Structure 1
Amino acid sequence: MTNATSSEDADFAIRARDNQTRLTARLQSQYDVIVCGAGASGSVVARRLAENPEVQVLLLEAGGSDEAESVQNPALWPTNLGSERDWGFQAEPNPHLNGRQLSLSMGKGLGGGSSVNVMVWARGHRSDWDFFASEAGDPAWGYDNVLSIYRRIENWQGVPDPQFRGTGGPVWVQPAADPSPIALAMLEAASQIGIPVHDHPNGRMMEGQGGAAISDMLVRDGRRQSLYRAYVHPWLDRPNLTVLTGALVRRVLFDGRRASGVEFVRGGQVTVAHARAEVVLSLGAIQTPKVLMHSGIGDRAELGLFGIPVRQHLPGVGRNFQDHVSFGCTWEYAEPIAPRNSGSEATMYWKSRADLDVPDLLFCQVEFPVPSEKTAARGVPAHGWTMFAGLAHPVSRGSLRLRSADPLAPVAVDTEFLSHPADMTTARSCIELCRALGNAPAFRPFVRGEAMPGELNDEALELYIREAAVTYWHQSCTAKMGRDDMSVVDAALRVYGVEGLRVADGSIMPRVTTGNTQAPCAIIGERAAELIKQAHAM
């Protein structure tokens, strides 16, 4: 960084801080649009709307600042789990996991998940977006249009590929820099077992059967580049964008059928802000349906249990819960190899059955051991690597339930992982492929041997799968877009049955995308902003 650049950054920081201090000290009673949640989607919506200087935007975030070394340093991402930057959601005991109760970490703070995740940029498969378009009845959600948005928003730093990658956008994307020899060994091992290797994972690789590649990451000059940093941070000195942290949204307020504002808690005080045009919920797949239900939008019978007046009967709110469930397989290093970058530099998507046309398995290599609380008891090597392998298209569906009429009380999350027998069948294939990969010749110079699971018979393998299962932290689909009776939003992300209220986050996915969900959430934010601007001539 040059002295001139450093000086410019310092000047901007002062200007932005002073501007936000003024704006938050004198909150307006009314804004054009209120965006709830400064995560991967909400950050995009707020920035895109604020690009019009005539539009007043209020961005509410329950958490705090992202200015922490644990956020900015890619290697420290695990330290955010369980911290104040994690909502700390806890799933209900799951009988299909032998009664285990999983932690469901989700980012709380500026950037949301994009400030605490592993920084992987995975666009989703062509089939995902075409499925979205089919469910919505709108080709604008299809792969071809989405690809054009990706090209527009990326600032790609890898091998030029103009058919698939863009270079002028706000999102700095680069291949993992100087990857570990263990990551390169993974690509070689994939090739050895017949899986194609690609220059990057976000082009042709995700239009067909899948393959392996060095991961794309949101890291620049060794620092995390969250979607908040990409979109909102450069706009903090603008007079029409107010970013308010520590603001926990309790419910949406209505004037008749129209969303008129939100009620939020900050510093122990309940505050109301009104919206002239729209309210946008970008609170994530747990908080968004929770706020909808406390606002009277949900299943009539469930709302009635807690005396919540029904604004709109939408039985799909909180249903269709999906996540990528993972099963860690671990190998011991012959000699310690220090993790590089985020400690996850290689990725793979492949098929559990030869007759499939698209990948249904998701693999992220992690350059240190990642056991579950159960498999840790099997013995974890001091130095090793893990194939964090899981189901890209789980069949099981979970749900969220209110526990109380109190908006501050937590919801019950039933993940229902492995409740559908098909998922256990796919999980077995996943483990088999994982072991074939990790035991391939490419790894022999680096590993002493397989630590777990090893060769297991049918019952022992099933037990291992149930004990190893953990979340990929890709919670989604709880306010799905579609046209059936369980859909919550339409193709324009408008909540059915009311006006002036949209949802823009991972909860609108009809099914979870193939791969990490950060990049698809950026697309959801871009689409939401486009639709709002069109609706209000912004």
Structure 2
Amino acid sequence: MSSSSSSYDYIIVGGGVAGLTLASRLSKLLPPGDSKQILVLEAGKDPSKTDFILSATGYALARESEHAYILDVTPNPHLNGRKSQVSVGKGLSGSGAINGSAWTRGPKVDYDYWAKLVGDDAWSYDKLLPFFRKTEQVIHDANSGRDHVHHGYDGSLKVVPMRANHPSRHYPLRETILQAWKEAGVKYNPDGNNGDQNGLTEMVELWVQGQRQLPSQVLDLSRVEIRESSIVQRITFDSPAGAEPVATGAELVGGEHFTANKEVILCAGVYHSPQVLMLSGIGDPSTLDKHGIPVVVPNAEVGKNLVDHLAVGMTWKLKHPEKGLAFGSPLFNDPSYFTGWPMDFIEFGALDEPVKLEPLIENAQDRAFLLRPGASHMESVTLYVPMGERLTGIDAAIDGSHISSIAVCLATTSKGAVTIQSANPEDPPLIDTNFNATKTDRYISREALRKVASVYLDTETGKSLVSHEVTPEGYAAITTDTSDDEIDKRIRDFGYSLDHPMGTCSMGKVVDSHCRVKGVKGLRVVDGSVIPVPMACHIQATVYALAERVAEWVANGE
């Protein structure tokens, strides 16, 4: 809807997961007023009438549609200078309209590490747990019961474990994959979202019988003013002599200005929140001077500390597809199989021998981060379809004869950066992911790939399932004995982003522990950019909880 006023108590820049969650909760916490108190400015449009946005089968189209920013990434010398792109949401619901809908919280120790790092226990797992519960409406099956300590059952989002989704959605290879991981010594963990995620966990998703839950549809926004197609040029400030600058509002491209009587809250995402800060005069003075932007607050950390998860795909030839995945099997005849991801499990795990990281670690902070008991260093996923040439180098037909796997470095210590290329807000930010830059990252990625290979090639169940890994021409198959050099070659040529960026307005460096921007008043950043540690999860669950947490502080003026 169009705005009917130019003055609001709170202006939220960005109508994605964080912005809409914050707006919805804040609207409930504030006393009713005579007029709208909260304005959300969203650069994109409402995608809720777009079929491929709403359907699980439209995921690939969503990422390349008008409802996504498709951003170029600087060629990475640690990935053979390859160019790449990342997609983030551009539309009401943000990346909640284009993401894969996986729901993982990450381990308790990550949040406790976060709390210790910023000196605020509010970010510990136990203190965040009420906000996770507030978000969720967990759908449970008859055999699992309810766990009110760790989960919520009255929230806005239906959170669906794979086994509790469509009644007939039972993949033929489920028990085989489960047995192979058990033979490899990995425990089955029926609930990876209770703070202890390591093990083979049930896939949990937000797809409900194949339909996406858009934040703009499931959250109560009845007391929120929303303005679409509104690109913010800059945050405006009043700068009293001898005092900290105070955020006064937001100016759009074209010059229209909205006044914030209390706060401006930036929720534009990991790539665009630092861009807006820089365009507004908060950033590295040398960067701002280069583009003729007056410095409001010098802070060279804006845009730094970018982390993401690097993944590598593998393709496996099945020995006997006729026993489960060949054409004619239920997988290709039952529509329920296409109502979410074609998989049952995610495996999260620590390194078998983390002590081997010791000689590779470069500094004390990385040592404390990597060697924590209970950490999740890596993630592995089995998909019951081949992933395709772009991600694996293999163009295998989707005919039931191949499956694929993903191996992920979660505990990354490689840090990139986001900056601006001009003072024009319509020019995309410059992104350097700097993937694969550290020795520890390369070690974890190799071990993740070797772990997957050992499940398929070294267990009796795995050997009965697959005949071999199908490799790109000129590349060695990955086994537990494959050399580091051969595996590093595969990572450099085929590693890709799992779309879990975080950290570019990092807590403790750009914002304080209540997400208030350092050096100014009346301005916060509330989205994945403030997460100060590489979380071992698919981060949307964290972002929902983060926004719920900060909404209470905003309402209380804290």
TM bucket normalised to smaller: 0.7 to 0.9
- 1:242, CA displacement in angstroms? 1.1
Distance of 1:204 and 1:255 partners within structure 2? 44
- 1:118, CA displacement in angstroms? 1.2
C-alpha distance 152-407 of structure 1, shift in aligned 2 (>3 A): closer
- Is 1:33 the counterpart of 2:49 in the alignment? no
The equivalent position to 2:526 in structure 1, one of 504, 524, 528, is: 504
C-alpha distance 373-204 of structure 1, shift in aligned 2 (>3 A): closer
Partner of 1:172: 158
Partner of 1:264: 252
- Is 1:369 the counterpart of 2:386 in the alignment? yes
- 1:141, CA displacement in angstroms? 0.8
Distance of 1:323 and 1:108 partners within structure 2? 20
Q: How does 1:313-332 map to 2 (within 5 A)?
A: 313-332=298-317
- Is 1:409 the counterpart of 2:392 in the alignment? no
Amino acid at match of 2:270: A
The equivalent position to 2:483 in structure 1, one of 438, 452, 457, is: 457
- Is 1:42 the counterpart of 2:36 in the alignment? no
Partner of 1:13: none
Amino acid at match of 1:97: L
Partner of 2:407: 389
Partner of 1:518: 540
- 1:27, CA displacement in angstroms? 2.6
- 1:191, CA displacement in angstroms? 1.4
For structure 2, the 5+ residue unaligned runs are: 240-244, 355-370, 472-476
C-alpha distance 388-382 of structure 1, shift in aligned 2 (>3 A): same
C-alpha distance 374-350 of structure 1, shift in aligned 2 (>3 A): closer
C-alpha distance 322-219 of structure 1, shift in aligned 2 (>3 A): same
Distance of 2:233 and 2:175 partners within structure 1? 47
CA distances 1:64-101 after superposition (whole Å, capped 9, x unpaired): 11221112112321221221122101100111111101
Partner of 1:14: none
- Is 1:431 the counterpart of 2:449 in the alignment? yes
For structure 1, the 5+ residue unaligned runs are: 1-19
- Is 1:252 the counterpart of 2:252 in the alignment? no
Contact 1:77 1:342 in 2 (8 A): no
Distance of 1:283 and 1:390 partners within structure 2? 26
Distance of 1:488 and 1:217 partners within structure 2? 32
Contact 1:308 1:405 in 2 (8 A): yes
Partner of 2:353: 354
Distance of 1:289 and 1:492 partners within structure 2? 17
The equivalent position to 1:151 in structure 2, one of 125, 130, 133, is: 133
Partner of 1:63: 44
Contact 2:309 2:408 in 1 (8 A): yes
Amino acid at match of 1:468: F
| Aligned residues between the structures | 497
- 1:183, CA displacement in angstroms? 4.3
Distance of 1:215 and 1:279 partners within structure 2? 37
Distance of 2:503 and 2:15 partners within structure 1? 19
CA distances 1:317-371 after superposition (whole Å, capped 9, x unpaired): 0000100010112213424354543224421101223345222102233332224
The equivalent position to 2:185 in structure 1, one of 194, 197, 217, is: 194
- 1:496, CA displacement in angstroms? 0.1
Contact 1:114 1:227 in 2 (8 A): yes
Contact 2:450 2:478 in 1 (8 A): no
Distance of 1:175 and 1:327 partners within structure 2? 25
Q: How does 1:214-229 map to 2 (within 5 A)?
A: 214-229=202-217
CA distances 1:399-428 after superposition (whole Å, capped 9, x unpaired): 112211222212211111011122111111
Partner of 1:6: none
Contact 2:456 2:466 in 1 (8 A): no
- 1:445, CA displacement in angstroms? 6.1
C-alpha distance 422-188 of structure 1, shift in aligned 2 (>3 A): same
C-alpha distance 442-40 of structure 1, shift in aligned 2 (>3 A): farther
Contact 1:200 1:216 in 2 (8 A): no
C-alpha distance 281-512 of structure 1, shift in aligned 2 (>3 A): same
* Further displaced range: 463-472 or 55-64: 55-64
Per the normalisation by structure 2, the TM-score is 0.85
Contact 2:8 2:38 in 1 (8 A): yes
Distance of 1:183 and 1:503 partners within structure 2? 42
Amino acid at match of 1:325: L
Alignment root-mean-square deviation, CA: 2.0
Residue aligned with 1:223, SS: coil
Amino acid at match of 1:499: K
- 1:182, CA displacement in angstroms? 3.3
Per the normalisation by structure 1, the TM-score is 0.88
Quote the sequence identity (%): 29
Distance of 1:86 and 1:497 partners within structure 2? 32
Q: How does 1:100-139 map to 2 (within 5 A)?
A: 100-139=82-121
Residue aligned with 1:260, SS: strand
Q: How does 1:467-486 map to 2 (within 5 A)?
A: 467-482=493-508
Contact 2:209 2:339 in 1 (8 A): no
